[in-house]
Amino acid sequence: MKPFILASASPRRKQLLEQIGLEFSVLPSDVIEDFSLPLPPEAF
């Protein structure tokens, strides 16, 4: 199986993956994910 890399520093996402028994590495990306502004779907 290919290695699974969680590109997030979210403790909740890590916890969820651990709960299902998935083996993974955590390597947070340096992307700023600030979606505090109301953006239309077209922006994505």
Helices (H), strands (E): how many in the chain?
Answer: 1, 2
What are the structural domain ranges in the chain?
Answer: 1-29
Q: Is the pLDDT of residue 11 over 80?
A: yes
Q: Is the pLDDT of residue 22 over 80?
A: yes
Q: Is the pLDDT of residue 14 over 90?
A: yes
Please provide the average confidence, as pLDDT, over all residues in the chain: 88
Distance CA 11, CA 42 (A): 29
Q: What is the mean pLDDT of residues 15-40?
A: 87
Rounded to two decimals, what is the model's pTM? 0.61
The per-residue DSSP string of 18-29 comes to: HHTT---EE---
Phi-psi region of 21 (alpha: psi -120 to 50; beta: other; left: phi over 0): left
pLDDT value at residue 13: 94
